[in-house]
Amino acid sequence: MVPLSWSVLLGVVLFVIGAGGVLLRRNILVVLMSLELLLNSVNINFIAFGRHYDDFRGQIFAIFVIAITAAEVAVALGILVALVRNKHTLKVDDVTIMKG
Amino acid sequence: MDQGFFLLFATVSVITALMLVVARNPVHSALALMACFLQISAIFVLLEAPLLAVIQIFVYVGAIMVLFLFVIMMIDMREAVLQRFLPGGNLPALVLLVVLGVEMIVLVFWSDSFSVATPATAGGGDTIRTLGTTLFADYLLPFEAASVILLVALVGAIVLARKEPG
């Protein structure tokens, strides 16, 4: 039996690492991958709490999170392909058109 | 037994997540993330969610990461590989990360409810059947909304990635 706090701690560590990837990396692809890691650490928390309280809603939420993640990745990579075709860059700092 | 396996999978997943962030080549990042997702699915098995573990492997490792690898192959990555981090100004982000991590850990270990609460009785039985019934009975509307969102994302991705006509 795994204690709940271990799972929560693993979620915290993975979340911080993923947030570090989002904040520190300049490559758009790696930023997107770190975003996946963030969503996965949240999923770990959902499932751990769902098991702890013997409730199915944790797993159901995790299923929805996975579905929305798949949609998000499809759209994000479509935008990325269009961006590279038009601007030939992969750096986050080069994409500041919408800053106003 | 369970705890030993959990520690093993957790350690490997943290190491691969660090490799994801640190690796210079995006292909290496993608492979490290794949390994991390496999470890997390093993953790899902330990947390008595075998259906979620299988979905994790199918959707993340099988679909999303392969999509990433396809895009990496489509794009010319040579100049992007060279630069790893922002040249300067990392300090606010690092401080923010440290504050975030410390805050979450302090909140987790200050609250007594994690250590005191006894885990509920082991579910056993037909968990996947119950999960499916709950998903299709009580959560039918969110399920349909998710399917519509997936359809919209499919159409949107095709429209975005298409070449401009003419």
- Integer Cα distance of B136 and B131 in angstroms: 9
Per-residue model confidence (pLDDT) at position B116: 53
Q: Do A15 and B104 touch (CB under 8 A)?
A: yes
Per-residue model confidence (pLDDT) at position B132: 87
Residue ranges for chain B with pLDDT beneath 70? 77-89, 112-125, 165-166
Q: Do B114 and A5 touch (CB under 8 A)?
A: yes
Contact A92, A79 (CB under 8 A): no
Domains and CATH numbers, chain A: 4-99 (1.10.287.3510)
Per-residue model confidence (pLDDT) at position B73: 87
User: Residue A12 is nearest to which of B20, B96, B104, comparing CB atoms?
Assistant: B104
The letter for the amino acid at B80 is A
**List of E strands, chain A:** none
Per-residue model confidence (pLDDT) at position B45: 92
ipTM of the complex: 0.91
Q: Please state which CATH number belongs to domain B1-83.
A: 1.20.120.1200
Q: What angle do CA B25, A14, A79 make, to 5 degrees?
A: 50
Residue B47 C-alpha, separation from nearest chain A C-alpha, in angstroms: 6
User: Residue A2 is nearest to which of B47, B60, B68, comparing CB atoms?
Assistant: B47
Per-residue model confidence (pLDDT) at position B146: 94
Residues of chain A in contact with residue B131, where contact means CB-CB under 8 angstroms, are 56, 59-60
For residue B97, the cross-strand partners are: none
Reading chain A (100 residues) residue by residue, the pLDDT tens digits are 788 888 889 999 999 999 999 988 888 889 999 999 999 999 999 999 888 888 888 899 999 999 999 999 999 999 888 888 887 777 777 777 777 5
**Domain residues of chain B, as ranges?**
1-83, 127-166
